Amino acid sequence: NDPPEQTRTGMSKAALKQAYIDNLFYIQGRFRDVASTYDLYMAAAFTARDRMLERWVESAQVYKTSHARTLCYLSAEYLLGPQLTQNLVNLGIAKVARAAAEELSVDFNAILEEEVEPGLGSGGLGRLAACYLDSLATQRIPAIGYGIRYEFGIFDQVIQDGWQVERSDNWLRNGNPWELPRPKISFAVRYGGHTEQTRDQEGRSRVRWVPEMVIKGVAYDTPILGYGVRNANLLRLWKSEAPESFDFQTFNVGDYYGAVHAKIEAETISKVLYPNDEPEAGKELRLKQQYFFVSCSMQDMIRLHRNTVGPLETIHQKFVVQLNDTHPALAIAELMRLLVDEQAMTWEQAWSITRQTFCYTNHTLLPEALETWSLALFERLLPRHLEIIYAINQEFLDQVRVRFLGDEARIARMSLIDETHGRRIRMAHLAVVGSRAVNGVAALHSKLIKTTIFKDFHELAPERFHTVTNGVTPRRFMVVSNPRLARLITATCGHDRWIGDLEYLRDLETHADDPVLQARWRQVKIAAKRDLACWLDHHTGVPIDPEAMFDIQAKRLHEYKRQHLKVLHIIRLYQRLKQDPSVSMVPRAFIFGGKAAPGYVMAKLMIKLINAVGEVINRDPQVNGYLRVAFMPNFNVKNGQRLYPAADLSEQISLAGKEASGTGNMKFSMNGALTIGTDDGANIEIREAVGAENFFLFGMTAEEVQRKQAEGYRPWALYQGDAELKSDIDLISSGLFSHGDPHLFRPLTDHLIHADPFMVLADYRAYLECQERVTEAYAQPRRWDRMSILNVARMGRFSSDRAIREYAERIWQIEPVVLDS
Ligand code: 26V
């Protein structure tokens, strides 16, 4: 038993029990017998947090005294997911904490359901940032994650009459036990106004920015623990507020309403997350958000450097800044401004430091996804930064001119200013020019950025281009979300070292044919399928037989991800059954999950189509013994954790060349699902790792796609030339799935037949044939089990720990810092 003074840090069951009771009383003001489930959740969270703080303070101290090189990860999104179990696992007390709660008659599963997740991201990019935080701490890399403390995260999705309806995500409503407000860590952020030329005491010319508006950013810190180590890092999110000097008398004499309005305007900046896959369309607030968090973060970095080692000239030796896509690329201009205008450094020295500080990761090749800002908007909001960008551009283009004499077309292509679509600033070009390293997120993607969007830049400086294939954290996506599988793996391998070093999963390989393991493996899968079926029945009213093959596609709704290709497959099977009711078929449950950007009409129509097809199939007794379709509402981290363990088949069917990496593909495979996928993103590397014979590959390669597009792609001919394809599409236009209305899905079917930019029709046949091979394999359970075990055994490479080690060694040059004890 711990002595009573250790009840805030003790790890024994007795100490944890006492801590629950104390936290319930002293923080929630409740006795055990009147506490709500939410009170109990909060008490558990505070019990975990108390134990995290010790490691956190210790890490901060060691990082400071060791002058350790530190990473600043800048990301507009962090899709953290529920924190409690994750933190208990990383504290190493998941089991004993549950036992302690249960001895107090607390239903631990019920309190876990109470937790609201911080949905501060829209999809893969934000979740990647969260996996990297976990792995940075686990790999002992000193790091600070910087971002925005959105008051409203990604919307909650409800399905009404088959349509997506968005509900605001008021995640802070009941308080957030994981964060610590730091009111003393705050910075002024300025907007608008104009600049003036002045001279300093030595007579050198300087620029003064006279802003129109000043707000402040306040730090909110969340500790991030590593697994199996004492290291803890820091996620620092900025909240916007009106400045302290806000004062009705002096601010704006007599203008009470104007003053209140200004306060609201300041608070609006960190109010809401814009999904990153929504076209920005002149969203002034989004630009304000980007500058807001970047300015706070750069000021904080300078402050930290001053507090420790000192001379500003060495800041690039102390810090590396990693840009998670272009959303934080303004940091390059902001650091220049801080060094030149506020710290009186020369332009040359400031630029040399800046260029050595930043690294940039690109996450998409889609041309419509590359960020640009209209020059007029930019100038109005950030006049000084526009001057800085002009100066960077001029210097850069002068170098290009010298290298490529007279090649004016190249100059226009490489300029930071796009003059072809009304003058716009190209954020990707700013990111490349201001960084010492640029990387893609999978091998194919990294190759493609060098030959397409950054071809000219690659010709200029090939040594700056790198590749780091994405990874995901096995702590959350195996241990937390699939405890049955984790236990079976540990029992089979005879150790749990795989949790901290995923390559150890290889120890499973020799057991792949063991009938005993296979039987247990199947039991684990069916148990997860039962859990999911129960949840889906409860939330969608679609009953699913756990014995059916669970065929799952869960990801953002996008034409390039081709959820409609999956729908065509379902319709084909439906028609086959209707035409010949005696045909035998492996029963399949098709499960979808994913949100559509609120303004993306086609993606929302795809959701409606999935639900409409489901409605017809699920209630038709002639087919519903073989086919079921369910749409999981509100796919987020928490709901994802219900899907991955239960999947037999993982759908990764993007058009080759379009999915930069994908990370869901990794989460499914790590949980024993087999993949049906195209030659795209990380699919290619997953297939290499697990073996071609354990992966269902279909469709065109990225090269074939390029060739076909160059030749002139004609979907109409494909539609006319394939009777089954035609009849599947025609069935949608017939009104069968829309209560007789032939118009509802016309935008979708017309677009497929006449344009089909993501070549659904070109891959249709290959996809159906490949699905036949899937069916055949599933009909042989022992073969399937073997493939499933081998998939898990060979997924070690896709741990985010490996990805972080590659960044640290090849790109950041940061060494781990070991804490003793
Ligand atoms: C942005 C936009 C903006 C305009 C409309 C269409 C559109 C479509 C996609 C995007 C993507 C933004 C960046 C992003 O989230 N990329 C994802 O990053 C993941 C982590 O690297 C990666 O696994 C995914 O393949 C990639 O799509």
Structural contact between residues 72 and 146, judged by C-beta atoms closer than 8 angstroms: yes
Mean pLDDT, residues 126-152 taken together: 98
Q: Is the pLDDT of residue 590 over 60?
A: yes
Q: Is the pLDDT of residue 259 over 90?
A: no
State whether the beta carbon of 788 lies less than 6 angstroms from ligand 1: no
Cα of 276 to ligand 1 centre, how many Å? 7
Rounded percentage of the chain residues whose pLDDT exceeds 90: 90
pLDDT for the residue numbered 97: 96
pLDDT for the residue numbered 307: 85
Residue bearing tokens 């003793």: 820
- Region of 114 on the Ramachandran plot (φ > 0 left; ψ -120 to 50 alpha; else beta): alpha
pLDDT for the residue numbered 705: 98
In angstroms, rounded to a whole number, what is the distance separating the alpha carbons of residues 175 and 326? 31
Please choose from 75, 77, 125 the residue to mutate so as to test ligand 1's pocket, defined by most ligand atoms within 8 A of CB.
125
Mean pLDDT, residues 758-773 taken together: 98
35-46 pLDDT, tens digit each: 999 999 999 999
| 586 confidence band (pLDDT: 50, 70, 90) | very high
- Reduced to 3 states (helix: H, G, I; strand: E, B; else coil), residue 193 is coil
Q: Is the pLDDT of residue 308 over 90?
A: no
Mean pLDDT, residues 330-345 taken together: 97
pLDDT for the residue numbered 320: 98
pLDDT for the residue numbered 65: 84
| 580 confidence band (pLDDT: 50, 70, 90) | very high
Fold of the CATH domain 67-82+117-467 = Rossmann fold (3.40.50)
Residues 6+ away with beta carbon under 8 Å from 668: 552, 644, 647, 650, 675
In angstroms, rounded to a whole number, what is the distance separating the alpha carbons of residues 208 and 194? 9
pLDDT for the residue numbered 262: 83
- The atom of ligand 1 lying closest to the CA of 128 is 20
Q: Which residue, by CA, sits nearest to atom 7 of ligand 1? A: 277
State whether the beta carbon of 363 lies less than 6 angstroms from ligand 1: yes
pLDDT for the residue numbered 244: 67
Mean pLDDT, residues 272-278 taken together: 90
Residues 6+ away with beta carbon under 8 Å from 514: none
Mean pLDDT, residues 67-72 taken together: 94
In angstroms, rounded to a whole number, what is the distance separating the alpha carbons of residues 24 and 30? 6
In angstroms, rounded to a whole number, what is the distance separating the alpha carbons of residues 519 and 498? 22
DSSP 8-state assignment for residue 7? T
In angstroms, rounded to a whole number, what is the distance separating the alpha carbons of residues 473 and 554? 18
- Reduced to 3 states (helix: H, G, I; strand: E, B; else coil), residue 310 is coil
Residues 6+ away with beta carbon under 8 Å from 710: none
pLDDT for the residue numbered 611: 98
Q: Tell me the backbone φ, ψ of residue 120, rounded to 5 degrees.
A: -90, 45
Instruction: State which amino acid sits at residue 806.
Output: E
Q: Where in the chain is the domain with CATH 3.40.50.2000?
A: 67-82+117-467, 480-713+762-805
Mean pLDDT, residues 489-509 taken together: 98
In angstroms, rounded to a whole number, what is the distance separating the alpha carbons of residues 811 and 359? 8
Q: Is the pLDDT of residue 250 over 60?
A: no
Q: Is the pLDDT of residue 744 over 80?
A: yes
Q: Which residue, by CA, sits nearest to atom 18 of ligand 1? A: 125
- The atom of ligand 1 lying closest to the CA of 122 is 15
- The atom of ligand 1 lying closest to the CA of 660 is 25
Q: Is the pLDDT of residue 701 over 90?
A: yes
| 309 confidence band (pLDDT: 50, 70, 90) | low
* CATH, domain range 480-713+762-805: 3.40.50.2000
Residues 6+ away with beta carbon under 8 Å from 758: 559, 560, 562, 654, 655, 658
Cα of 682 to ligand 1 centre, how many Å? 14
| 277 confidence band (pLDDT: 50, 70, 90) | confident
Q: How far is CA 720 from the centre of its chain?
A: 40
pLDDT for the residue numbered 203: 87
3-state helix, strand, coil in the chain (%, to 5): 55, 15, 30
pLDDT for the residue numbered 584: 85
Max distance between CA atoms of the chain, in angstroms, equals 93
Mean pLDDT, residues 359-378 taken together: 95
Count of CB atoms situated within 10 Å of the CB of 155: 21
pLDDT for the residue numbered 4: 54
State whether the beta carbon of 62 lies less than 6 angstroms from ligand 1: no
Cα of 66 to ligand 1 centre, how many Å? 38
State whether the beta carbon of 654 lies less than 6 angstroms from ligand 1: no
Mean pLDDT, residues 736-761 taken together: 98
Q: Is the pLDDT of residue 3 over 60?
A: no
Cα of 637 to ligand 1 centre, how many Å? 17
Question: For all residues of the chain together, what is the average pLDDT?
Answer: 95
Q: Tell me the backbone φ, ψ of residue 639, rounded to 5 degrees.
A: -75, -30
Cα of 730 to ligand 1 centre, how many Å? 32
- The atom of ligand 1 lying closest to the CA of 325 is 13
